[in-house]
A and B are shown apart, each in its own frame.
Chain A
């Protein structure tokens, strides 16, 4: 379990993390979602004792990371897959990490096997593709068989096979009862991987919610209707204070009335309906509604011609 209390980090004049509170619980994949520059990596570095909080605290299993004697047995982390000495072999990279925490050599061979790098173990990591480096970084995170795992943008630069592999791995780690925190700016990825979401924007926590709940809460606002006479139905709906837009194919998109109300209204006025359905918001839409105000570097909206 990771627990942050009033966690705040200021670099010069920039407030990177602005007093956030959260808990990351075991047994789930928790997605840490936010645009670039939102404070995800800073928070992860503070969890790992690399950056010191300006104020507030963050603990893993109730302890500050800096006070841990053998941290790799508690926490495994993948921050930057390229953060390796290019001249060192994959095996020696992991052996140096293992040795620092009293982990046996045979464990190095095990994790290399687990991530599928056994055949290139003696090759220098400078020649590795990004995907191979990601796998090696994950092997390093798994070395100490830790109860808590942190992955910062783990699918960046991976091919579809690699993405599927990481997704499956994270889900199985969580299923074993571990605490898994995964950061990403890719909503589609989070939608497939995470059970729970922490949404962060401009250093503030915008949502701390189960994924399904977030989508459900933002859904059901818009209803799509296809009718035999869309023009007349649209007029009737507008009388009932709904906002209606008509698509080129005659489909109506209705805001302000629930599908049940629309159905009742249509029956009362004798409309023939072909279709009546709630629009399920994608995570992407839910996310944009949350972070709309908090994107740090936003491109100006295109000007209509």
Chain B
């Protein structure tokens, strides 16, 4: 009514200032709870410990490995393999970033302050993706170097400058970011933590297994179009026949499959969040 605050910010009601205000609010929310740092720290432990243990195991077993086994051994993938576990942490963080707000009822306060709901979800996703991408890319590099050091001689190992390696190591961070975003948008769609976690883990873990029960090569072709299998292509160095002959898409087309899943979940989330009662 009387305070200067009222007129001061109403004058600058351009789209850009509105976006900036929403982004700042979402950033304050992201960094002011402990779950974010806690989960990201757990991700680091899983990735680094995983790289060290898996690669050590292969170096110790290298002498007894068959020539075929040695040929299909992917040193980059093995140093990043713990991503398959870490993705559950990152995906869960994506889920609770949204469902924490829905289950506490805070989402109403958020939408009262910012009725532009799609904008809230979009900027929440952007901030989440930026933080997770930066952190997970850093961890991906750390896991790579740790893994290569653990492999060393006599096992096969590669330098960061070797062809395709940089793509794969960057790919580790990208893949985890995509899984996190898939979790975030699943959270918007289902609004409840348990339901969204079940759906996300179902897509990441159960669906590939279920497809494996289908007869013949059908399962293999379909499986490539799951976010898990398709997306993981990007942090492999060897593709197609070279690592067991399973998947043939290659790094970027594989990641495109992953991105398409995220985009589909995002599209559904944006439509629903505007239509639904909050």
Which segment of B111-119, B135-143, B200-208, B210-218 sits at the interface? Answer: B111-119
Residues from 1 to 36 in B contacting A, C-beta threshold 8 Å:
1-3, 5-6, 8-10, 12-13, 17-18, 21-22, 24-26, 28-29, 32-35
Q: Are B115 and A68 in contact (CB under 8 A)?
A: yes
Known A-B contacts A102-B9, A107-B5; A87 and B33 likewise in contact (beta carbons under 8 Å) = yes
- B278 contacts A by Cβ under 8 Å: yes
Residue in B closest to A49 when the chains form the complex, CB atoms: B115
- A92 contacts B by Cβ under 8 Å: yes
**Distance (Å) between the CB of B40 and the closest chain A CB?**
15
Residues from 202 to 243 in A contacting B, C-beta threshold 8 Å:
none
Q: Give the complex CA separation of A65 and B28 in angstroms.
A: 24
Residue in A closest to B33 when the chains form the complex, CB atoms: A87
Chain B 23-54 interface mask (CB, 8 Å, partner A; 1/0): 01110110011110000000000000000000
- B105 contacts A by Cβ under 8 Å: yes
Among A75, A101, A145, point to the contact of B1 (Cβ < 8 A). A145
Interface size on B, residues (CB 8 A): 39
Q: Are B277 and A101 in contact (CB under 8 A)?
A: no
Q: Are B5 and A103 in contact (CB under 8 A)?
A: yes
Q: Are A85 and B106 in contact (CB under 8 A)?
A: yes
- A82 contacts B by Cβ under 8 Å: yes
Among A73, A92, A102, point to the contact of B32 (Cβ < 8 A). A92
Known A-B contacts A51-B278, A102-B21; A66 and B115 likewise in contact (beta carbons under 8 Å) = yes
B interface: dominant SS: helix
Among B5, B29, B108, B277, point to the contact of A144 (Cβ < 8 A). B5
Q: Give the complex CA separation of A99 and B17 in angstroms.
A: 11
Interface size on A, residues (CB 8 A): 46
Q: Give the complex CA separation of A147 and B115 in angstroms.
A: 18
Contacts of B85 in A (CB 8 A): none
Q: Give the complex CA separation of A146 and B1 in angstroms.
A: 6
- B101 contacts A by Cβ under 8 Å: yes
Chain A 60-78 interface mask (CB, 8 Å, partner B; 1/0): 0000011111111101010
Q: Give the complex CA separation of A177 and B108 in angstroms.
A: 27
- B104 contacts A by Cβ under 8 Å: yes
Q: Are A70 and B13 in contact (CB under 8 A)?
A: yes
Among B1, B5, B105, point to the contact of A178 (Cβ < 8 A). B1
Contacts of B25 in A (CB 8 A): 96-97, 99-100
- A95 contacts B by Cβ under 8 Å: yes
Q: Are B28 and A145 in contact (CB under 8 A)?
A: no
**Distance (Å) between the CB of A45 and the closest chain B CB?**
7
A interface: dominant SS: loop
- B110 contacts A by Cβ under 8 Å: yes
Q: Are A83 and B109 in contact (CB under 8 A)?
A: yes
- A176 contacts B by Cβ under 8 Å: yes
Residues from 23 to 77 in A contacting B, C-beta threshold 8 Å:
45, 48-52, 65-73, 75, 77
- A79 contacts B by Cβ under 8 Å: yes
Contacts of A70 in B (CB 8 A): 9-10, 13
Q: Are B106 and A83 in contact (CB under 8 A)?
A: yes
Interface centre among B105, B109, B277, B278 (most CB of A within 10 A): B109
Contacts of A5 in B (CB 8 A): none
Q: Give the complex CA separation of A147 and B32 in angstroms.
A: 30
Q: Are B33 and A85 in contact (CB under 8 A)?
A: yes
- B100 contacts A by Cβ under 8 Å: yes
Q: Give the complex CA separation of A51 and B113 in angstroms.
A: 15
Q: Are B33 and A100 in contact (CB under 8 A)?
A: no
- A284 contacts B by Cβ under 8 Å: no
Q: Give the complex CA separation of A144 and B26 in angstroms.
A: 18
Contacts of B26 in A (CB 8 A): 96
Q: Give the complex CA separation of A229 and B257 in angstroms.
A: 96
Q: Are A77 and B35 in contact (CB under 8 A)?
A: no
**Distance (Å) between the CB of B101 and the closest chain A CB?**
7
Contacts of B5 in A (CB 8 A): 73, 103-104, 107, 144-145
Contacts of B1 in A (CB 8 A): 145-147, 176-178
- A2 contacts B by Cβ under 8 Å: no
Residues from 71 to 122 in A contacting B, C-beta threshold 8 Å:
71-73, 75, 77, 79-80, 82-89, 92, 95-97, 99-104, 107
Which 3 A/B pairs are nearest by Cβ-Cβ distance? A83-B105, A102-B9, A100-B25
What are 25 A-B pairs at a CB distance below 8 A? A49-B111, A49-B115, A51-B277, A51-B278, A69-B13, A70-B10, A71-B114, A80-B105, A84-B106, A85-B29, A85-B33, A85-B104, A86-B104, A87-B33, A87-B34, A89-B32, A92-B32, A95-B28, A96-B28, A97-B109, A100-B113, A101-B9, A102-B9, A103-B9, A178-B1
